[in-house]
Copies of this chain bind each other. A is one copy, B any other.
Amino acid sequence: MPAPSNRPLNERTNFLLSQLGFHTAMRFTERLAALDIQPSHFGLLMHLAQGEGRSQQQLAEVLGIHRKVMVGLLDDLEQRGLAERRRHPADRRAHAIYLTDAARTLLPQARAIADAEEEDLLTGLDGDERRQLLTLLQRLADHSGNPRGVHPGLRRNPGLPGMG
């Protein structure tokens, strides 16, 4: 039997996902400010750590954003001494993007912040329940059409108004 249509918002899985997702993203943003970066920078650093030397265009494609947005993100990272634009060995139009040593020092700290945020979020769930939740969410995410580890908030086409 399907769930009734007139149930309150906190009995709707989609609302709860949006509520909790916004909540944890907001808190993560606040905590990450201690490192003077934002979640989008963290995401880019994470992807850079998986393979350096790519062009801005390649990185933009992986993250699903326009190359112009990548300009701004890399400007930020470069200004903070976390990323370098080097000459691309094969294409003189492009830049090859590399992490700096500072970024390799900062990245574990940022991951620790993500861990702490996750721990606070999951307080109250035991190990089995956490594994259940993670598995269920992964199945939803795989089915959602979003590439793994790519946040749709970076390619915010239309403005996303709140869902109060």
Interface size for A (C-beta < 8 A) is 79
Is B124 a contact of A8 with CB atoms below 8 Å?
no
A40→B9 CA distance, assembly (Å): 13
- Where the two chains meet, the residues of A that have a C-beta atom closer than 8 Å to any C-beta of B are 2-3, 5-6, 8-26, 28-30, 38-40, 42-44, 46-47, 63-65, 108, 111-112, 114-115, 117-118, 121-125, 129-130, 132-134, 136-141, 143-144, 146, 148-158, 160-164
Is B163 a contact of A144 with CB atoms below 8 Å?
no
Most buried by B among A118, A121, A125, A161: A161
- Tell me the smallest distance from the CB of A57 to a CB of chain B, in Å: 16
Is A39 a contact of B163 with CB atoms below 8 Å?
yes
A130→B132 CA distance, assembly (Å): 12
- Which single member of B15, B139, B146 contacts A19 (CB below 8 Å)? B146
A42→B124 CA distance, assembly (Å): 31
* Top 5 A-B residue pairs of the complex, sorted by shortest distance between their CB atoms: A21-B21, A43-B164, A153-B162, A39-B163, A154-B164
- Tell me the smallest distance from the CB of A18 to a CB of chain B, in Å: 4
Helix, strand, loop or mixed for chain A's interface?
A: helix
- Which single member of B21, B28, B118, B160 contacts A20 (CB below 8 Å)? B21
- Which single member of B19, B38, B47, B162 contacts A141 (CB below 8 Å)? B19
Is B129 a contact of A136 with CB atoms below 8 Å?
yes
Is B140 a contact of A26 with CB atoms below 8 Å?
no
Is B13 a contact of A122 with CB atoms below 8 Å?
yes
Other A-B pairs, 16, CB within 8 Å; known A18-B153, A153-B163: A5-B111, A12-B114, A13-B137, A15-B151, A16-B140, A18-B21, A18-B24, A20-B141, A22-B25, A38-B161, A43-B164, A125-B139, A129-B136, A153-B161, A154-B164, A156-B162
